[in-house]
Structure 1
Amino acid sequence: MAIVFITGSTDGLGRAAAQSLLDQGHRVVLHARSADRAAAVADFTSRAAGVVVGDLRSAAETKGIADQVNAIGRMDAIIHNAGVYTQDSRAATAEGHAGTLAINTLAPYLLTALIERPKRLVYLSSGLHRGGEGSLHDLDWTRRNWDAAKAYAESKLHAVALAFALARRWPQVLSNAVDPGWVRTRMGGAGAPVDLDTGQRTQSWLAVSEEPAAMVSGRYWHHLRQEQPAGEAADPNFQDALIERLSELTGVSLPAA
């Protein structure tokens, strides 16, 4: 049985994935944004192998999350699930970064760089990532007028590019990106066409399955099928440029192979 860390796992898709893995007998390390949030779902967190706490908007707290996970031990897999959708404004963080970028891009990058390397990495993206090309000239939205939908699309393109970059740089790690679809969560809304179980299935499968179909790396998935992502996300030159820029923004370098 595997031990899996899932960000944003007290609600929505993250909780559904955690529930699925727990029901299969795996061990799961949960993540809550705050101690109050963790306490509010104590009936669920009591089943976990551990609960780490920290707000992904904050670089300092994100680094603290990495420390907490490392203290528990090496994970077999990490599902980078947490994210925000359209934010009304740039909503700068304490470090001055756009909130969407901080949570959806910088946090998974930091956690990837700072948590002891697992056997598998799964990054949640979105079909909307195909509208996110061309971000590198103003990654942090310091020059452009804020566009919430565009910022979200860019961040989800970054997730695919990061997954693919890790597949190249860390060949011993299986690294993939997943589009869960438009799911009926608090973020997706009650009218979304995809149920929670369908939405969580691919990332859970990639995290633990020993089936040959799941033992691949550098792929983009949607409902257990591989799809072709946006061209920029699959471009090694873009991937390398993105990682270089994320290293500059965070002051943290991605470890070499």
Structure 2
Amino acid sequence: MALVLVTGASTGLGLATATALAADGHDVVLHARNAGRLEDPSVLDRMYGVVYGDLSLPEETVEVGRQADVIGRFDAVVHNAGVMRGGDVLAVNTVAPFVLTATMTPPERAIFLSSGMHFSGSPQRLEPDFAAPGRTSYADSKLFVTALALALARRWPQTVSHAVDPGWVPTRMGGPSAPESLEDGRTTQVWLATAEEDSIDPRTGGYWYHEAVRAPHAATSDPRFQDAVVDVLEARTGFALPR
């Protein structure tokens, strides 16, 4: 039985992930922006706990991490929360996972939701995007968070860290005509969060799509770009990844 935190789990893919983990007998802590975001409050009856906070706001993100740490050290954190467009894309998709990683007790495993759209992101946009975060594209934000996941795998060998492309699934972001199912979209992160470690190959530092490893954007595997992403996140937030 694993203790797992799933961010952005009030609806959609995050909710599907959280409920699948709970159905498998794991202790799941659901994160939502606030109680009003829960489409079905009865879902909390199946959860081990709940934490609230707006991940677009650094101070509330820190508070989410504090609430989570009170519960205990997590076996896995699934960084699922995301937004597709608007001024909070960089804050929610990239900065929040970094802040939680930098401020929480390190989990045994960290799973970061990427996207196939990260291949359209530009490494050259790193500095401009952080200078004007309200203009960051979804593709760029997913490029950066994928690099963060792989940087963590390199820097924290004791923590299993992976990036996951869940595919195009029918959520509020994906739309009703998405060709893949929520079950397709949740399966890999559920497996990575809870499977026996020796069944995951590579053990850490993978970019996954439907339980298969794929090659990510070349920049995300470059330690220089990984370090550049971490450096700009540390400078922006004032938090440093523990060494």
1:28 match: 28
In the alignment, is residue 130 of structure 1 matched against residue 119 of structure 2?
yes
2:215 match: 228
Post-superposition shift, 1:210?
0.7
- Indicate if the aligned counterparts of 1:129 and 1:154 stay in contact, CA closer than 8 A: yes
- Indicate if the aligned counterparts of 1:4 and 1:75 stay in contact, CA closer than 8 A: yes
Equivalent residue letter for 1:131: S
**Structural RMSD (CA):** 1.5
Post-superposition shift, 1:159?
1.5
Separation (CA, whole Å) in 1 of partners of 2:197 and 2:231: 34
In the alignment, is residue 72 of structure 1 matched against residue 71 of structure 2?
yes
- Indicate if the aligned counterparts of 1:205 and 1:214 stay in contact, CA closer than 8 A: no
- Identify the structure with the greater helix proportion: 2
1:108 match: 97
Which TM-score applies when normalising by structure 2? 0.95
Post-superposition shift, 1:142?
2.4
Separation (CA, whole Å) in 2 of partners of 1:17 and 1:205: 10
Q: Write out per-residue CA displacement over residues 181-225 of structure 1, whole angstroms, 9 at most, x where no aligned residue.
A: 100111101100010011000001000011633261001000110
Post-superposition shift, 1:49?
1.0
Separation (CA, whole Å) in 2 of partners of 1:52 and 1:115: 13
In the alignment, is residue 11 of structure 1 matched against residue 11 of structure 2?
yes
Post-superposition shift, 1:141?
5.1
- Indicate if the aligned counterparts of 1:184 and 1:195 stay in contact, CA closer than 8 A: yes
Which TM-score applies when normalising by structure 1? 0.90
Post-superposition shift, 1:172?
0.8
Number of residues of Structure 1 aligned to a counterpart in Structure 2: 241
Using the TM superposition, name which of 214-223 and 72-81 deviates more. Answer: 214-223
SS in 2 for 1:79: strand
Q: Write out per-residue CA displacement over residues 217-255 of structure 1, whole angstroms, 9 at most, x where no aligned residue.
A: 001000110000001111100000110100010111111
1:205 match: 191
Separation (CA, whole Å) in 2 of partners of 1:101 and 1:11: 20
Using the TM superposition, name which of 5-14 and 203-212 deviates more. Answer: 203-212
- Indicate if the aligned counterparts of 2:19 and 2:46 stay in contact, CA closer than 8 A: no
SS in 1 for 2:219: coil
SS in 1 for 2:221: coil
- Cα distance, 1:237–1:4 mapped onto 2, change above 3 Å: same
**Identity level (%):** 48
Post-superposition shift, 1:45?
1.0
Equivalent residue letter for 1:79: V
1:240 match: 227
1:96 match: none
Alignment of 1:98-177 (within 5 A): 99-133=88-122, 134-140=124-130, 142=132, 146=135, 151-177=137-163
1:195 match: 181
Q: Which runs of 5+ in 1 are unaligned?
A: 92-98
Separation (CA, whole Å) in 1 of partners of 2:94 and 2:121: 13
1:94 match: none
Equivalent residue letter for 1:152: Y
SS in 1 for 2:51: strand
Q: Which runs of 5+ in 2 are unaligned?
A: none
2:49 match: 50
